């Protein structure tokens, strides 16, 4: 088992209300020359949680932070015109993400939850994940 001290939340940077499959994201990442999808989990608009890269394998989702982290991506994160970042999480995605974060925190008690933007000059995941999930990070499940 890998030692995990970070759970990093991402968005797919796709327009609100447009579904994108795990296989599509995998193809985007393979086209970049990666060995697989960079995320360990992808949360669909309807709240379904799809597995991406095997959790035992280091992800490819934040440069310099992959060794000891788990990457979760929700579909969306941009307005419908693809102009501005926007928190587009559906109620189902919000519930599924919360549930998954609690589960992963139980499995990896040292993990702190971050947004991709905490490590890069990006808007991703289009909301402040560190602030929103600080109670989970602090062990208050």
Q: From first to last of its 141 residues, what are the pLDDT tens digits of the chain?
A: 789 999 999 999 999 999 999 999 999 999 999 999 999 999 999 999 999 999 999 999 999 999 999 999 999 999 999 999 999 999 999 999 999 999 999 999 999 999 999 999 999 999 999 999 999 999 887
Catalytic residue among 40, 41, 86, 124: 124
pLDDT of residue 140: 81
H or E stretch including 50?
A: strand 49-51
**Under 8 Å between Cβ of 37 and 20:** no
pLDDT of residue 37: 97
pLDDT of residue 112: 98
The backbone torsions φ and ψ at residue 77, rounded to the nearest 5 degrees and listed phi first, read 110, -5
116 is catalytic: yes
Q: Taking the chain, what is the end-to-end CA distance rounded to the nearest angstrom?
A: 23
pLDDT of residue 44: 98
Catalytic residue among 10, 61, 105, 108: 10
Quick one: DSSP state of residue 116? Answer: G
Q: Which CATH class is domain 6-137?
A: alpha beta
Angle at 82 between CA 77 and CA 88, to 5 degrees: 25
Residue ranges per structural domain of the chain: 6-137
pLDDT of residue 65: 96
Q: Going by C-beta distance under 8 Å and a sequence separation of 6 or more, which residues neighbour residue 82?
A: 15
**Under 8 Å between Cβ of 74 and 93:** yes
pLDDT of residue 134: 97
41 is catalytic: no
- Round to whole Å and give the CA distance between 38 and 71: 8
């Amino acid at each position: 088992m890998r030692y995990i001290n970070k759970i990093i939340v991402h968005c797919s940077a796709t327009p609100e209300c447009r579904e994108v499959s795990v296989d599509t994201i995998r193809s985007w990442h393979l086209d970049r020359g990666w060995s697989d999808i960079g995320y360990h989990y992808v949360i669909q608009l309807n709240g379904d949680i799809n597995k991406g890269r095997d959790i035992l394998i280091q992800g490819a989702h934040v440069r310099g932070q992959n060794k000891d982290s788990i990457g979760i991506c929700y579909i969306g994160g941009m307005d419908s015109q693809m102009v501005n970042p926007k928190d587009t999480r559906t109620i189902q995605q919000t519930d599924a993400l919360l549930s998954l974060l609690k589960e992963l925190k139980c499995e990896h008690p040292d993990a702190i939850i971050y947004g991709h933007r905490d490590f890069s000059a990006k808007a991703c995941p289009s909301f402040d994940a560190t602030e929103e999930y600080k109670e989970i990070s602090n062990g208050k499940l």
